[in-house]
Chain A
Amino acid sequence: MTETVISQAIEPVIVAGKRPWGRTLLTPSFLIPALVLVILLLVALLPGPIAGIFGHGDPHACDLGRSTDGPAPGHPFGFDLQGCDVYANVIYGTRSSLSVGLLTTVLAMAVALVVGTAAGMFGGWLDILLSRLTDIFLGFPFLLGAVVVLGSVGQRSVLSVSLVLALFGWPTMARLTRGAVRSVRGAEFVQAGQAMGLSTWRIITRYVLPSSISPVLVLATITVGGVIVAESSLTYLGIGLQPPAVSWGLELSAASGNFEQAPHMLIFPALFLVITVLAIIGLGDALRTALDPRRS
């Protein structure tokens, strides 16, 4: 849902030549979210040592006798329904949640760049064909499409969930890419390249894409956050990741049934999720400001 707005808010802009990135990116509005995300990436890469800080780092080491107990020494976030350490689960869950977010976005962006560039650069029947294809996929409300497809996927892993989410995530980006590419296609530096007899491939990769990719990058950043939220919602519906996988969505959906007795089960995973999404949105915002050539 948010993607639509954002793509409307981000107009394709022509960025010719190199831009002074350094100065804008050294501001708090960029550095703080970037730092948060670096920490989260570290957590995702090395969950073991970080989960073990409080001495109980195994997400699958559970004691049913302590089911839904609140925070205790050595267990800062308390216990979940199965008596597992919530902190260890949240830390280990970072990896699958971030993986789904990043993998989906990378897959969707790859498809979007190919489709959008082909449609925008060559025009004609190829453009008509690809644009209608994009429209067909845009015709699916994101969640509805994911529900229908994931309901029919038997084994759901990080990879299969990402593939399905990417299937419905690429069209917005493709449309944005097409618009951006079209707006630079006729630019003088592209004409100059053609006049010099450069190959189409070289013109696209060296001149057209670098000038039209910035709105797509901004949208991609924000997509990561949206996908993480979507994954947790789908998991809640019972058609996202499955145990024994550990993810924030699984923690949240297990917690939502016992919210009244054990609010800590819901609060801590939700906190991590919200912080991640906020950091991603903040980063996207900072990038948009940095990449906007109309900025004074």
Chain B
Amino acid sequence: MSRVAIVVGRRLGELIIVFLGVTLLIYLMVFALPGDPIKAMGGDRPLTDAVVRALRAKYHLDEPFLEQYLRYLWGLVHGDFGVDFNDESVASQMASRWPVTITLALTAWVIEMIFGIGLGVISALRRESFADHAILVFTIVIGGIPVFVIGVASQLVFSVRLRWFPVAGIVYGWPKSYILPAVVIAIFGLAAVSRLTRTSMIETLGSEHIRAVRSRGLSSGRIIGVHAMRSSLIPTATYLATDLGYLMGGTVIIEGIFNIPGVGNLLFQAIRTHEGPTVVGVSTALILIFLVTSVLVDLLHAGLDPRVRRR
């Protein structure tokens, strides 16, 4: 077996442990939710004990906790996310919503990448200049404002007043309906990406291998574009890749403000209505994505940085 295979195998093993732990935790939390979903099903008229018992048995709520959890895991392995208390399959509820959230998150991600790296490189090349300070202050100020404030404000300014974008929903499709919410999500990560790019770019520009390339008389465009970028983008790439996983889960607020029918919206409604199975299903799916991206990040890291590969 090659070394790479061992590393990948180890990482996958860790992933499974973490996955089991996370799902167990979510299950415990949802289990601890106050209120009884079965009793609430009756609405104003209380259900008879016999009906309550029957429903509990139907949803396996009368079994010990561990048994319920293991049953859920078993279903999950077979791609079954269970049903909610209306007997609707959680997987089918999510299915129509995933493309929306993925589109939104990817759009935001690309915006964050382009502007974050762009601003970072400008900062690094014009270090301590006015532009550098302006970028720093701008990204930090804008990142310090809660995302819902930016969301609501931009919705009013750009959609209601200026009418550049639709106010809410996704009826106009991509890109028209997605750009504004995606920009709002991306703004949050700009400070981090641009700062990370700036720091590592400055470090690389001062390093010996760039001096060596310089001494060979290559054009500065080529030095920055090819040599400096390649080695200084490792931390940025790592961050950006991890961030993609976060973006998926972080769209909850934005999907709410812009009324976008994505997974985040589903999760939030499910928490409000105490739909335990939906909460567990959506969180599990989101966390699975997050964990898989983090493994891919490590592999990417190894691919970009020869020092990591050798270790």
Contacts and interface: CB of A to CB of B under 8 A. Distances in A.
Contact of A229 (B144, B256, B268): B144
Interface string A168-205: 00000000000000000000000000000000000000
A132 B15 CA distance: 10
Report the interface size class on chain A: 35 or more
Interface stretch (A47-55, A104-112, A142-150): A142-150
Contacts of A1: 188-189, 192, 243, 246, 250
Interface stretch (A15-23, A88-96, A273-281): A273-281
Interface stretch (B55-63, B148-156, B216-224): B148-156
A106 B156 CA distance: 38
B146 A8 contact: no
A256 B149 contact: yes
A101 interface: no
B196 A8 contact: yes
B143 interface: yes
B249 A143 contact: yes
A225 B145 CA distance: 11
Interface residues of B, number: 56
Contacts of A290: none
A210 B14 CA distance: 32
B286 interface: yes
Contact of B271 (A136, A151, A154): A151
Interface stretch (A58-66, A74-82, A231-239): A231-239
Contact of B149 (A154, A252, A260): A252
Given A141-B286, A148-B279, A2 B143 contact: yes
A140 interface: yes
Nearest to A3: B192
A236 B144 CA distance: 16
- Majority-rule SS of B interface residues: helix
A273 B26 CA distance: 32
Given A148-B271, A274-B141, A5 B239 contact: yes
A233 B145 contact: no
A152 B32 CA distance: 7
Interface in A137-169: 139-144, 147-149, 151-152, 154
Interface of B: 14, 17-19, 21-22, 25-26, 29-30, 32-34, 140-141, 143-149, 152-153, 156, 160, 188-189, 191-192, 195-196, 199, 235, 238-239, 242-243, 245-246, 248-250, 252-253, 256, 267-268, 271-272, 279, 283, 286-287, 290-291
Shortest beta-carbon contacts, A-B, top 4: A136-B21, A151-B271, A141-B249, A277-B144
Given A2-B191, A135-B18, 4 more contacts: A136-B21, A139-B290, A148-B283, A152-B30
17 contacts: A1-B243, A2-B143, A2-B192, A5-B192, A6-B192, A132-B17, A135-B17, A139-B19, A141-B249, A141-B286, A144-B283, A149-B29, A151-B33, A237-B268, A256-B152, A266-B152, A273-B144
